[in-house]
Structure 1
Amino acid sequence: MADQLTFTIQNRERIQAVENTFGRTGKMLLKPGRILVGEGCLSKLCRRGPKAKAFFLFNDILVYSSIVVPGRWNNKQKIIPLEDVQQENLEDGMAMPNQWLIRTPRKSFYVSAASPEEKNAWMGHIEQYKSLLVQAKGLPAENAAGNFAATWIPDTASAICMRCSKRFNVANRRHHCRRCGYIVCRACSKNRALMPNISSRPVRICRTCAGIHEAKEQGNNRAKGKHWKKNSVEDTPTLPEYETSSDEDASEPGYQVPTKWFKSPEDEDYSPYCYIKPEHKHPPICGLELERCENVML
């Protein structure tokens, strides 16, 4: 009984310490039954390359954030229900050793740890507490694969649009299709579609995904006996020309500290972007025509 009381007090203090690093910008994390399992720094692959992020694993949620002052001040808090998480183990990449993929319905991303042991510890703890949570709630063991968000390809992975092959420059900016994660130009991403698992508002998709989405909607409406309105995808609101596609653009200082795990009383080089065609890395001389990249694998 005394050990349980001591643990409860220590757990409360640890969670409150995490809350304090977010100040008024973060959501309240302390709640009955919630346990802070571990905390540490992982590298998250963002649009412009790997960035150090603070990660906090609880017995029911996974929290990550941008780092302002290491160990003292974090912002841009993101909270993921643990039952929504699916992990995929990956071989070491050239820029991301000890990496793995975290998939969720709203966002999917690559992370890497400082060592293989730390990677295995993170993956093991996440899977362990997800399983316990799923069992306690009586939920299905795995989420449907189609409900996971596409993983965005970093800006540095392609110098040209992955649909029309036009070179990116100051006037022709990079955008990301929310359905396939490809890097595309504005002309190839004028379409919008409603993807409830990502946003309650229509989001940017590329023209190839727009065709797939429209065909799917037509089939659904025919099955329901409804009349299909032509160009309904194109009629959705457009985003500003110079939108910010991600909140990961700001540069952040990198740092590395050991992961802290808290005990409960009960207790060859591979790149994830190897499928990108060679011309995406090394575009041809400006002015030459390229074949259109309509048949790139999704």
Structure 2
Amino acid sequence: MMDKDNFERILDVQHSFGPSGKPLTNPGRVLVGEGRLMKLCRHRTKARVFFLFNDLLVYGSIILNGRWNKKQKIIPLEDIELEDLEDGLNMKNQWLIKTPRKSFFVSATSSEEKRAWMEHIEDCRTKWLQKAGRKPSNAFAITWIPDRASAICMRCFGKFNITHRRHHCRSCGFIVCNPCSKARAVLPHISSKPVRICKRCTLSLQDQGVEEQLRPRGDSDGTNCGSDVDDQRAPEYEPSSDEEERMEDRASSNWVVSQLHSTSTYVFLNPDHERPAMM
């Protein structure tokens, strides 16, 4: 039987994604915490709202803070692996969230928040695997090199411009041009359909004797190859949107903040989850 307060909180999260969101209420599901993190998207970092459940990690774009979200993403905890990272030039308190279909960088507003997020995700994941008898994933999507990291194709070294566009190889994450990424291959942990891969990864798959997974693809097949965003095979990063960015202000994370607590106070719904000691 789901606790009434917990059920109402989960229902609020579900309704925040509108009719396009998937149902989140489920017997035995507990909303452990929520907060806002900066996520490295294709062109820049953007604020995203994250909800941690005892069996899922859910996140999405923020339209109206605390009321309306969109682009709901649901990740089972057995499909998550975390990797701690040192501070970067543009992202402090960052870490990597790896999943079979998508791996991405996120950052918190402080080292304490980062540690709380990581510890709670790991704790929920461990307990869920034990309780549900699930096996963790062992194949994860490569993290993409950000667009701004290279002005040239990382295979042919041709300079990108308005007609020579950037793309990403789904196998290695390198930034490549369209002529250098004509082939498509089925990468089972990413998609059941063929996805874009570069010339070098094509040769690697051929060396491994998996030619049946490969097929060439050009612009003549009727598909718009002018942008990775146009490829309907779950790009690793959401497309950038200036309009969305103006509506998404960075704020501190809060672990299910009640109306009686300040936004910097951690409040836990599950008594098994204790507040980590702060430095």
TM over 0.5: yes
After superposition, residues 82-97 of structure 1 pair within 5 angstroms as 82-97=77-92
**Kept in 2: contact 1:190–1:205 (CA 8 A):** yes
Which string of whole-angstrom CA distances, capped at 9 and with x for unpartnered residues, describes residues 137-171 of structure 1?
2234x532xx1001011111111111111110000
Tell me what 1:211 maps to: 203
TM-score, normalised relative to structure 2: 0.84
**Kept in 2: contact 1:52–1:66 (CA 8 A):** yes
1: CA distance, partners of 2:241 / 2:190:
22
1: CA distance, partners of 2:159 / 2:166:
10
Tell me what 1:63 maps to: 58
2: CA distance, partners of 1:214 / 1:137:
39
After superposition, residues 197-208 of structure 1 pair within 5 angstroms as 197-208=189-200
1:263 aligns with 2:275: no
List 4+ stretches of structure 1 deviating above 6 A: none
Sequence identity (%): 51
Tell me what 1:195 maps to: 187
Query: Larger radius of gyration, structure 1 or 2?
Result: 1
**Kept in 2: contact 1:202–1:236 (CA 8 A):** no
Question: What SS does the aligned partner of 1:217 have?
Answer: coil
After superposition, residues 1-298 of structure 1 pair within 5 angstroms as 8-140=3-135, 142-144=136-138, 147-218=139-210, 233-235=214-216, 239-245=223-229, 246=235, 247-251=238-242, 252=245, 253-261=248-256, 262-267=268-273
TM-score, normalised relative to structure 1: 0.79
Shift, 1:194, TM fit: 0.5
2: CA distance, partners of 1:217 / 1:33:
45
1: CA distance, partners of 2:47 / 2:68:
14
Question: What SS does the aligned partner of 1:211 have?
Answer: helix
Question: What SS does the aligned partner of 2:116 have?
Answer: helix
Which string of whole-angstrom CA distances, capped at 9 and with x for unpartnered residues, describes residues 210-249 of structure 1?
111122234xxxxxxxxx66xx623468642224434332
Q: 1:254 to 1:158 in 2, by over 3 A?
A: farther
User: In the comparison of the two structures, how many residue pairs are matched?
Assistant: 248
The one-letter amino acid of 1:248's match is P
Which string of whole-angstrom CA distances, capped at 9 and with x for unpartnered residues, describes residues 74-114 of structure 1?
11110000011000100111111000001111100010000
Question: What SS does the aligned partner of 2:96 have?
Answer: strand
1: CA distance, partners of 2:207 / 2:217:
16
Shift, 1:14, TM fit: 0.8
2: CA distance, partners of 1:243 / 1:203:
13
**Kept in 2: contact 1:70–1:255 (CA 8 A):** no
Question: What SS does the aligned partner of 1:131 have?
Answer: helix
2: CA distance, partners of 1:213 / 1:115:
42
1: CA distance, partners of 2:147 / 2:216:
28
2: CA distance, partners of 1:99 / 1:196:
28
2: CA distance, partners of 1:134 / 1:19:
24
